[in-house]
Amino acid sequence: MKEIATFAAGCFWHVQEIFDNINGVISSRVGYTGGNDECDYDSSEKKGHAEAVEVIFDSEKVSYGDLLKVFWKEHDPTSLDKQGGDVGRRYRSAIFYHSDNQKKAIEKSLAAMQKNIVTEVSKAGKFYEAEEEHQKYNEKHGKVC
């Protein structure tokens, strides 16, 4: 069964590459979400958006819980508005859930984590697809982040 998951964990180039390599992930796209108004790469920070990856996955091959485990492992959820050398609100840690079942899985996952997690959890809103040059960036240009 096809489902959508949306994660923000710093530079979306790296995050997309990680999720694309998971068996059961059908496709992904990078973009901006969690803020106000339509935006592009240059305006995402001032409009409050996070760089995010929208993942389409087959829940019969990979569970949402397994995707959450990858999300927690592949970035620092205790770092506020910063991942590696990337600093700013658009690089924040956030999960945007698409269903009540996803929200419950996030809550269960968070309960098992340490207390100083700064990851934001909110209902998925409008996802603004990033410009084509940002899609599959590491695949096109070699690993950048």
Tell me which residue has tokens 């698409």.
Answer: 98
User: Could you give the CA distance from residue 134 to residue 140 in angstroms, rounded to a whole number?
Assistant: 9
pLDDT in the model for residue 2: 97
pLDDT in the model for residue 40: 87
The Cβ of residue 124 has, within 10 Å, a number of other Cβ atoms equal to 18
Q: Are 33 and 81 in contact (CB under 8 A)?
A: no
pLDDT digits (tens, 9 = 90+) for 28-39: 999 999 998 999
User: Could you give the CA distance from residue 25 to residue 71 in angstroms, rounded to a whole number?
Assistant: 14
| Residue 145 bears catalytic tag | no
Residue 137 has pLDDT above 90, yes or no: no
Residue 52 has pLDDT above 80, yes or no: yes
Question: pTM for the complete prediction?
Answer: 0.94
Paired strand residues for 2 = 58
N-term to C-term CA, the chain: 31
pLDDT range class, residue 55, cuts 50, 70, 90: very high
CATH number at residue 32: 3.30.1060.10
Task: Find the domain containing 13 and state its range.
Answer: 2-141
Catalytic residue among 5, 8, 9, 11: 11
Residue 144 has pLDDT above 90, yes or no: no
User: Could you give the CA distance from residue 62 to residue 59 in angstroms, rounded to a whole number?
Assistant: 5
Per the structure, how many domains does the chain have? 1
